[in-house]
Amino acid sequence: MTRIPAANVIHSRLRLRQLRLMLALQEFGSLRRAADHIGMTQPAATKMLHEAEDLLGVELFERLPRGMRSTPFGETVIYYARMVFAELSGMREELVALESGNLGRVAVGAIPALASGLLTRTIATLKQSHPRLSMSIQVDTSDVLVQALLQDQLDIVLGRIPAGARAEELLFDSLGEEALCVIASAQNPLAQEKQLGWAELQHMTWVLQQHPSPMRAIINQVFHNARVDIPSSIVETTSIMTLLSLIQQTDMLGVTPVSVVEDYPGRDLLAVLPIKFEARLPPYGLITRRHRIQSSAMQAFMNSVRAEHALTK
């Protein structure tokens, strides 16, 4: 039988000050320094820690000859304590925003392929309906963005769940899938070909996303399936604009979702090469933290993304 009390007991008896003490203990590794940091005496801090351990029924910190070290139980409590204080900080920011007449603030991460299309349309529409909504935007690959989300540096990610991500901690609202294509400059001689194979393109210089992005993994797999070595001349970038600019001005080749080419104002400067590309990227969508309460700003952004996406179907 478990020693851990019921959730309602923890809700009613565990105090924020106890959580602050545990975070300080994790940071300083010393009960005396932790007590000083949160403004209390060492005996009071010792009593408070014992009360928390008695309540939870487990040892949270191991007493060492010099200092203290969190146990696996303590690591779990510390992890959730950080989330509690992050949510409280978010609550405070939203209250301040509402007090001043704003809807609040939302920090969004978006993969490059969606930043110039769906994200741009969403921001334009959202600022019309909520002009005082504050937004910050980070554009990067899904692996970088999801890691930032898990560290509470972002509220929402518009992208894909990368391989190896802690999927059990995430909520994923799928919006769709995208086909990929190989692109070149409209002036590239390859643009005049009727059919191409991967072996014919292996010696070219390619502009590709960095490891370990889902798109790069698919491209590597395509060459492997075609029994062709991965090109040795590669320029790596996460910037769609850099990719498109290089393609236009050189004889380099690139891989991008079809939607990026369709949305690009300089579409006539590009050519989609006639090569079979059956592989598709994993579904893209809205990614949030599973246990995080969604603020009004987050809900407004996600509703707007869904509405804009529905218009393009």
Q: Based on the domain organization, do 24 and 51 belong to the same domain?
A: yes
Strand partners, 234: 206
Domain boundary among 57, 92, 127: 92
CATH number where 298 lies: 3.40.190.10
Has residue 277 been placed in a domain?
no
Distance, CA of 150 to CA of 253 (rounded, Å): 34
Q: Based on the domain organization, do 258 and 121 belong to the same domain?
A: no
Residue 100 confidence (pLDDT): 65
Q: Based on the domain organization, do 173 and 184 belong to the same domain?
A: no
Each residue of 164-207: pLDDT tens digit?
778 888 999 999 888 889 999 999 999 999 999 999 998 999 99
pTM of the model as a whole: 0.60
Q: Based on the domain organization, do 71 and 189 belong to the same domain?
A: no
Q: Based on the domain organization, do 43 and 184 belong to the same domain?
A: no
- The β-bridge relationship of strands 156-159 and 206-208 is unpaired
Has residue 1 been placed in a domain?
no
Number of domains in the chain: 3
Quote the domain boundaries for residue 114: 102-177+283-311
Has residue 15 been placed in a domain?
yes
Tens place of pLDDT per residue across the chain (313 aa): 678 889 899 999 999 999 999 999 999 999 999 999 999 999 999 999 999 999 999 999 998 888 899 999 999 999 999 988 887 887 787 777 666 656 678 899 998 878 878 899 999 998 888 888 888 999 988 888 999 999 889 999 999 888 777 888 899 999 988 888 999 999 999 999 999 999 999 899 999 988 777 788 888 888 888 899 999 999 999 888 899 999 999 999 999 888 888 878 888 999 999 987 777 778 899 999 988 878 888 888 999 999 988 887 6
Each residue of 139-168: pLDDT tens digit?
988 888 999 999 889 999 999 888 777 888
